[in-house]
Amino acid sequence: MVLKSTSASNVSVYQVSGTNVSRALPDWIAKKRKRTLKNDLEYQNRVELIQDFEFSEASNKIKVSRDGQYAMATGTYKPQIHVYDFANLSLKFDRHTDSENVDFLLLSDDWTKSVHLQNDRSIQFQNKGGLHYTTRIPKFGRSLAYNEINCDLYVGASEDELYRLNLEQGRFLNPFKLETKGVNHVSVDATHGLVAVGMEDSAVEFWDPRARSRVSILRLENQIDSSPFQVSTTSFRNDGLNFACGSTNGYVYLYDLRSSEPSIIKDQGYGFDIKKIIWLDGVGTENKILTSDKRIAKIWDTVDSKAYASMEPSVEINDVEHIPGTGMFFTANEGIPMHTYYIPNLGPSPPWCSFLDSITEELEEKPSDSVYSNYRFITKDDVRKLSISHLVGSNVLRAYMHGYFINTELFDKVSLIANPDAYKDEREREIRRRIEKERESRIRTSGVSKKSTIKINKSLAEKLSQKRGDKAAEKLLSDDRFKEMFENEEFQVNEDDYDYKQLNPVKSARETTEGAAKRIRALTAAEESDEERIALREGRADANDSSSDDESSSENEEEREQISRMEQKKLQKQQKVIERRKREKHNSDQFMSKMSVSALNDEEQESRKVTFGEQVREATEADSISKSDDSVVRRTHRGEAELTFIPKSFEVKKQQHRSPLKGSEDNEENPRDTGRSRPRSDGRRRASKNAFRGM
């Protein structure tokens, strides 16, 4: 099995189900295409964690029961409710409702009791048998919250009142009167029962349900972004001291309830409404929180706000749910399948899908794909130059630090549209780069060879100064370990050697290849004669030098002593090679002459004396003779063929068919003619009953 893995840091995030992960085909299609799907690796390696984990069009909300055995989700179209049984990894049942669901809560530890807020101002209570009771509220509802201590159900709506429905008494209580209109989200702290109400005027009101009065109002201020915003979501931590809220402009505020100043203000990065905040307590790491907008769900540290991991599906996110004590997350989104993510670093997989641990352990051994492997980073200036500022905030550009990530193929297309001469400019830059590279191979004088006194290997010192700089080269020359390399003549580098030219291409590549070819291949007769002349000249020069050396002064003797032993050995080797090749050539000539004399006979020698003109004349004469003949095919000396025939009557053809030789029965010149003038069956009894056939 294969899971899609993304890793923006060292934390691996596995997408178990959802779009672009596994193809879930209907049963009737799978049966019909059973033979073709047998060889389909993508279909064979799919992971179906929960069957039918999808809706017809989109999913709105998803929640996991407190016992961790069931999950309830709402979606459209048509409006319906799905309950999934984790023990069987399948859909338990589905129910249809009259209107679309806005928010819902699980009142019991399992799925048996739930309350649903619909977009037609109705509140439905569901149980095992189905719809239990329905009531209505004056305004359109937006959020639900339940206080288990006093059994109050809080309903936030578009009015300046927070509706209270007591489930023990079965009636509405006096609502909480708010300062402004518009309740976006309601949450209740399970530790001390404090109620937080997120308002449209960028404020959070805290109410005490015991005193039925307002405790405090928290005004949110954003010095980074001065545009007006609303409070979109709120969340309490289980410790009773920490509180978090999100705004509609993409910022998350973390507070200590003992202080009115936020401890951390975190920018989500996309500027969309914060839809969900989850405190990740009881996982493998501490001080982690999840914040989600419609584009991405990020996990980061509450101490230093450092990013930890992220989940970014290809569709918009509507809701996120975490299974407590594990590293698994569910997302309800604007797509047919709901997404499932698994992060092993946050915790193990749930007991009902423990096989995921073994799969991820095998995948951890292999390098995972980077989430930005096919993307290219561009800055805001590049976005302005490419004229794609209108794409900021869409799925095309991914915000990251001080710039964006864009698909590589899309970047190439956009850059080509913005600059049609990009290919031409790149070609000119490549030509200029190659010219500069060839110039670097040329010998240049450096400051090291001028300042310091170097006796031998000056070119090596110049190369060192070019690669490492003059200061580094001077330190190397002054080092006692390498000092003799530039002073002692025994360490002299022979630059005329063939091996040196291959390792150090000072000259052009053409010269080195020609030298290698001359060294490898055998010499021709002209080259051998040239070498013989050179050797003779060198011998004469040596004789003249020996005679002149006897008469010259001691200065010439010193110059002659400076000839290296290697050069003398080379001369000796060249002379031996020349003598050996002479002997081989002489032996081969003698052998070929003997073979040619014995092979040729007198007739072949005479035919060799025949000229080309005589051969043409003989061919034309043979052609003229063949023209007088009655032969059917005539060939010329050029290789052409002519087909001639004389039309004859039927009687002549019949006579020729009777006699295989030329002439007829009356031909006296051809006594061997044995042709018959009558058929053999003449005068004999016929086997056929039709006696008139032969008349």
pLDDT digits (tens, 9 = 90+) for 31-55: 556 566 666 655 555 667 888 899 9
Got the DSSP string for 2-61? --EEEBSSS--EEEEESTTT-----HHHHHHTHHHHTT-HHHHT---SSTT-B-SSEEEE
Residues 344, 327 contacting (CB under 8 angstroms) = yes
Using left for φ > 0, alpha for ψ between -120 and 50, and beta otherwise, residue 665 falls in alpha
Report the alpha-carbon distance of residue 272 to residue 294 in Å, rounded: 7
pLDDT digits (tens, 9 = 90+) for 284-313: 788 899 999 999 999 999 988 899 999 988
Residues 168, 151 contacting (CB under 8 angstroms) = yes
Tracing tokens 């915003």 back to the chain, one arrives at 229
Alpha helices per DSSP H over 610-663 = 612-628, 650-658
Q: What's the pLDDT score for residue 221?
A: 84
Q: What's the pLDDT score for residue 446?
A: 46
Using left for φ > 0, alpha for ψ between -120 and 50, and beta otherwise, residue 469 falls in left
- Give 105-151 as a 3 state SS string: EECCCCCCCEEEEECCCEEEEEECCEEEEEEECCCCEEEEEEECCCC
pLDDT > 60? residue 657: no
Q: What's the pLDDT score for residue 373?
A: 53
Residues 116, 123 contacting (CB under 8 angstroms) = yes
Q: What is the maximum span of the chain, computed from C-alpha positions, in angstroms? A: 153
40 contacts: CB under 8 Å, gap ≥ 6:
none
Tracing tokens 């914040």 back to the chain, one arrives at 291
Q: Is 457 helix (H, G, I), strand (E, B) or coil?
A: coil
pLDDT digits (tens, 9 = 90+) for 594-606: 665 555 555 455 5
Report the alpha-carbon distance of residue 359 to residue 344 in Å, rounded: 11
DSSP state of 511: H
What domains can you pick out in the chain, each with its CATH number? 5-365 (2.130.10.10), 375-422 (no CATH)
Q: What's the pLDDT score for residue 1?
A: 44
Report the alpha-carbon distance of residue 658 to residue 669 in Å, rounded: 17
Residues 245, 233 contacting (CB under 8 angstroms) = yes
Q: What are phi and psi of 415, to 5 degrees?
A: -65, -35
Q: Which two tokens stand for residue 366?
A: 């292999």
Q: What are phi and psi of 665, to 5 degrees?
A: -70, -30
Q: How many other β-carbons are positioned within 10 Å of the β-carbon of residue 295?
A: 22
Report the alpha-carbon distance of residue 303 to residue 311 in Å, rounded: 21
Query: Mean pLDDT throughout 568-581?
Result: 82
Query: Mean pLDDT throughout 245-251?
Result: 92
Lowest mean pLDDT among 604-613, 651-660, 674-683: 651-660
55 contacts: CB under 8 Å, gap ≥ 6:
73, 75, 76, 80, 82, 336, 338
Lowest mean pLDDT among 230-244, 403-417, 602-616: 602-616
598 contacts: CB under 8 Å, gap ≥ 6:
none
Q: Is 410 helix (H, G, I), strand (E, B) or coil?
A: helix
Q: Is 77 helix (H, G, I), strand (E, B) or coil?
A: coil
Report the alpha-carbon distance of residue 399 to residue 405 in Å, rounded: 6
**Burial state string for 465-490 with b = 16 or more CB within 10 A and e = fewer than 16:** beeeebeebbebbeeeeeeebbeeee
CA 163 to chain centre: 55
pLDDT digits (tens, 9 = 90+) for 422-456: 778 888 888 888 888 877 666 554 444 444 457 77
Question: What is the amino acid identity at position 341?
Answer: Y
As a whole number, the mean pLDDT across the chain is 77
